Chains A and B, each alone.
Chain A
Amino acid sequence: MTEQSDLLGRARAWIGRPATAPVTARDPVNQPMIRRWAEAMGDANPLWHDPDVRAAAGFAGAVAPPAMLEVWTMAPYRAGGRTEDEDMAVLRLFDEAGYRGVVATNIEQEYLRYLVEGDIIHARAIVSDISDEKRTGLGIGHFVTIDYEFTDQADELVGRMKFRILKFKPPLEQSKAAAPAGDAGANAFPHPRPAITHDNAFFWEGLKQRKLLIQSFDGRLVHPPVPACPETGSLEWTTVEASGKGVIHSFVVMHQPQLPCFQYPLPVVLVELEEGVRIVANMIDTAPEDVAIGRAVTLDFVEVEPDYILPAFRLA
């Protein structure tokens, strides 16, 4: 089992289980917290603070804005952070695996009634879903979905919530791991990622094992990966592992535009492998002026981010 699927297996064992112990609000629904919330939101709705308006609407006491549903049962501030009980153990699994960033991405709240002064709210939270690893603007990570039920002092359901958060690897850490020693900070942005499809997944999986795999349709080698043999249309294929020897067929030296995750000038080569197919990759450990058509090169692998490996070439 890979490290990745082991993490997912342990995390998904939480699905259907309580994310935290049940929580009872420390304070009943009350006017001061409502007032402070409405002021922070710039919400002038008189229902939240005008006794005449709420009485006319049939409410006996102060009425809480429905979007405050979760506020009543939020964990208190504590110097040093939350206690273990308040923390979600399922999220700690991701912290320990390096997914230390956290950001809430979705809330779906349903309100069965408006809460009023004196209501005492209870919350129960169940882990309902854990996504596969996703690439996001914040970094690679997993979405964790928690389902909440809110009940009142009579044990009546007053609202529900689906809460989704992203646990991600901060890009700074991803690139710190990828940057050569002494070069920290040069790669402050995530490396561009390939679009992995049914047809090319084998290629990227091979790279993770530091193998450059070439598609073989009954001995006819093809690269880049295709869904079907260009000559026969056959969908049957296997792979062969490249020896890693080749010759520079063509090249460019990139100066502009400069992306933050690369170093410039950057020689990009089209290498004709000894198996007969050509592949585009970056040159490493090579001065741009030493790159020339016809020069022999050998294959190497660069782990640009954890678990993300690209082929590269150096002069033979």
Chain B
Amino acid sequence: MTFDDIRPGQALPELAIPITASAIVAGAIATNDFQDVHHDKAAAQATGVPDIFMNILTTNGLVQRFVTDWTGPEARIRKIAIRLGAPNFVGDVMKLNGEVAAVDQDARTADIRISGRNGIGEHVAATVTIGFAEGAR
């Protein structure tokens, strides 16, 4: 994909992520996040939540992946802004959806607005700004 393929309002294909304990722990370790609420169920429950839940850096990574799954390797991520709501607990499924919210013809960038919903509600609201390599890194 190139910058010129992008149009405002284009929808990204939905991505469903099963939230298993393994997925949460693999994400936590891969992001070097050893906070106990992301791998120790008893420790999580001691803070008043029912189970371990996904750490924010994994959500951040899934949001990035969701965008580059669509654009292919040519896109260059400039910014990711995410806001978390309903936690991703074990046993849930998060569905990511997104669309092109804005295209800046001068800067040759696009903003993609993303929402990831689980069984409780909206887990993540995100805006990702992308450009394209076009010779430069």
Chain A residues numbered 65-97 whose CB sits less than 8 Å from any CB in chain B: 65-68, 70-71, 74-78
- Interchain CB contact under 8 A, A40 and B32: no
Q: Contacts A37-B31, A104-B55, A109-B79 known; A65 to B84 CB distance under 8 Å?
A: no
- Interchain CB contact under 8 A, B32 and A41: no
Q: Contacts A40-B30, A46-B73, A107-B81 known; A71 to B68 CB distance under 8 Å?
A: no
Q: Contacts A45-B65, A71-B31, A108-B81 known; A101 to B48 CB distance under 8 Å?
A: yes
Shortest Cβ-Cβ A-B pairs, 10 listed: A74-B32, A170-B48, A40-B30, A104-B56, A67-B64, A43-B65, A108-B81, A47-B73, A40-B26, A77-B34
| Closest residue on chain A to residue B86 by CB atoms | A137
A contact residues around B82 at 8 Å (CB): 106-108
- Interchain CB contact under 8 A, A110 and B30: no
Q: How many A-B residue pairs have CB under 8 A?
A: 130
- Interchain CB contact under 8 A, A173 and B81: no
B contact residues around A58 at 8 Å (CB): 133, 135, 137
Chain A residues numbered 264-285 whose CB sits less than 8 Å from any CB in chain B: none
Assembled-state Cα–Cα distance A74/B30 (Å): 11
A contact residues around B83 at 8 Å (CB): 105-106
Assembled-state Cα–Cα distance A36/B30 (Å): 6
Assembled-state Cα–Cα distance A78/B32 (Å): 12
Assembled-state Cα–Cα distance A137/B121 (Å): 12
- Interchain CB contact under 8 A, B73 and A57: yes
Q: Contacts A53-B73, A66-B77 known; A41 to B84 CB distance under 8 Å?
A: no
Q: Does B60 contact A (CB under 8 A)?
A: yes
Interface residues on A, range: 35 or more
- Interchain CB contact under 8 A, B26 and A39: yes
| Closest residue on chain A to residue B45 by CB atoms | A172
Q: Interface digits, B92-133 against A, CB 8 Å rule (1 contact, 0 not)? A: 000000000000000000000000000000000000000001
| Closest residue on chain B to residue A54 by CB atoms | B73
Q: Does B80 contact A (CB under 8 A)?
A: yes
Q: Does A262 contact B (CB under 8 A)?
A: no
A contact residues around B32 at 8 Å (CB): 71, 74-76
User: Which listed residue, A33, A40, A77, A109, touches B60 by the CB 8 Å rule?
Assistant: A109
Assembled-state Cα–Cα distance A172/B44 (Å): 12
* Shortest CB distance A87–B (Å): 12
Assembled-state Cα–Cα distance A66/B129 (Å): 12
* Shortest CB distance B110–A (Å): 15
Which of B31, B34, B76 gathers the greatest number of chain A CB atoms within 10 Å?
A: B31
Which of B57, B68, B86, B135 gathers the greatest number of chain A CB atoms within 10 Å?
A: B57
- Interchain CB contact under 8 A, B77 and A107: no
Q: Does A111 contact B (CB under 8 A)?
A: yes
| Closest residue on chain A to residue B121 by CB atoms | A137
Q: Does A59 contact B (CB under 8 A)?
A: yes
Q: Contacts A53-B73, A57-B133, A173-B48 known; A41 to B57 CB distance under 8 Å?
A: no
Majority secondary structure of chain B interface residues (helix, strand, loop or mixed): mixed
B contact residues around A171 at 8 Å (CB): 48
| Closest residue on chain B to residue A188 by CB atoms | B48
B contact residues around A33 at 8 Å (CB): 30
- Interchain CB contact under 8 A, A43 and B26: no
Assembled-state Cα–Cα distance A68/B64 (Å): 10
Known: A36-B29, A76-B32. 19 other contacts (CB 8 A): A37-B30, A37-B61, A40-B29, A42-B65, A47-B68, A53-B73, A57-B137, A66-B77, A70-B57, A71-B30, A71-B32, A103-B84, A103-B87, A105-B56, A107-B80, A108-B81, A109-B81, A110-B78, A110-B79
- Interchain CB contact under 8 A, B60 and A67: yes
- Interchain CB contact under 8 A, A172 and B84: no
Assembled-state Cα–Cα distance A109/B64 (Å): 11
Q: Contacts A105-B83, A105-B84, A173-B48 known; A114 to B76 CB distance under 8 Å?
A: yes
B contact residues around A105 at 8 Å (CB): 56, 83-84
Sample of 13 A–B contacts (CB below 8 Å): A37-B30, A45-B65, A45-B69, A47-B73, A57-B74, A67-B60, A67-B64, A71-B57, A104-B55, A108-B79, A108-B81, A113-B137, A172-B48
B contact residues around A191 at 8 Å (CB): none
